[in-house]
């Protein structure tokens, strides 16, 4: 069966931030068809009938915002989980998974934003992260975070500033990563400089990140390969999906 990957692109300013482009580059070389839909723009989310893998990207938006497209995407995520489609979310996408499957009460503003290269401590073994160094240095850029995810979520990694850096929904093929391993080092440095120029939010953290030497331990090839090769169960919609839904 041909693997068909759907990327739900959560970029708001699509001319500056192109998360689907980063994921497409990481998927190059894998035997799969890739389609993307920019959800904030109101683009229609394609039917999931032929989708074998789903990727949820980062966003400049906050998961705590009360905007209609967040609810639209959350419904699609619940549908995908019910179907047994493997899902991988990064940053906003990581938070979206918890919002959709467990509720917004498990999300909050970060006490201190996490910007730049972050060192992650891996807490539990998981096949998606088998090829990741311990500790793992990876690019992060977030102002919100997941807090106290309920069962069946398992926390796989943490950092000094964020207790929930990587999660899995029990033993199902559903993973969230708070950092951005998909973003190349040069693009990460560009995004930091861009934020310094155009934003005043978290100025101290942004400036500090712009001065730190990058420490990019690349693990994305391993993560993408393991994700794409993962073939989860495909029950019919509504059968054997979420253990805890909304």
Q: In what order do the strands lie in the sheet with 87-90?
A: 32-38, 3-9, 53-56, 87-90, 174-177, 166-169, 153-158, 107-122, 136-146
189 is catalytic: no
180 is catalytic: yes
Please identify which of the residues 22, 94, 106, 180 carries the catalytic annotation: 180
Verify cis geometry, omega within 30 degrees of 0, for the bond prior to 5. Answer: no
What span, in angstroms and rounded, lies between the C-alpha atoms of 180 and 193?
Answer: 16
| φ/ψ (deg, to 5) at 238 | 90, -5
Among residues 132, 130, 160, 166, the alpha carbon closest in space to that of 146 is found at 166
Please identify which of the residues 53, 91, 99, 142 carries the catalytic annotation: 91
Beta carbons of 147 and 153 less than 8 angstroms apart: no
Verify cis geometry, omega within 30 degrees of 0, for the bond prior to 71. Answer: no
- Secondary structure (3-state) at 80: helix
230 is catalytic: no
Please identify which of the residues 73, 114, 182, 205 carries the catalytic annotation: 182
Among residues 52, 63, 58, the alpha carbon closest in space to that of 30 is found at 52
Q: Which positions are catalytic? A: 91, 180, 182
């Amino acid at each position: 069966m041909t693997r068909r990957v759907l990327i739900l692109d959560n970029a708001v300013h699509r001319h500056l931030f192109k998360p689907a482009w980063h994921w497409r580059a990481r998927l190059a070389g894998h035997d799969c068809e890739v389609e993307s839909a920019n959800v904030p723009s109101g683009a229609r989310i394609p039917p999931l009938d032929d989708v074998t893998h789903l990727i949820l990207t980062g966003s400049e938006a906050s998961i705590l915002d009360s905007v209609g497209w967040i609810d639209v995407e959350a419904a699609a995520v619940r549908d995908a989980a019910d179907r047994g489609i493997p899902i991988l979310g990064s940053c906003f996408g990581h938070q979206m998974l918890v919002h959709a499957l467990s509720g917004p009460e498990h999300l909050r503003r970060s006490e201190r934003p996490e910007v730049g290269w972050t060192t992650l401590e891996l807490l539990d073994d998981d096949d998606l992260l088998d090829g990741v160094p311990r500790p793992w240095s990876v690019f992060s850029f977030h102002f919100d975070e997941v807090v106290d995810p309920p069962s069946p979520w398992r926390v796989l990694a943490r950092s000094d500033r964020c207790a929930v850096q990587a999660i899995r929904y029990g033993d199902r093929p559903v993973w969230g990563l708070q950092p951005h391993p998909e973003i190349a080092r040069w693009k990460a440095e560009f995004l930091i400089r861009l934020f310094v120029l155009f934003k005043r939010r978290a100025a101290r953290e942004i400036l500090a990140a712009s001065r730190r030497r990058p420490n990019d331990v690349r693990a994305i090839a391993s993560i993408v390969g393991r994700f794409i090769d993962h073939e989860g169960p495909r029950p019919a919609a509504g059968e054997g999906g979420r253990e805890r839904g909304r």
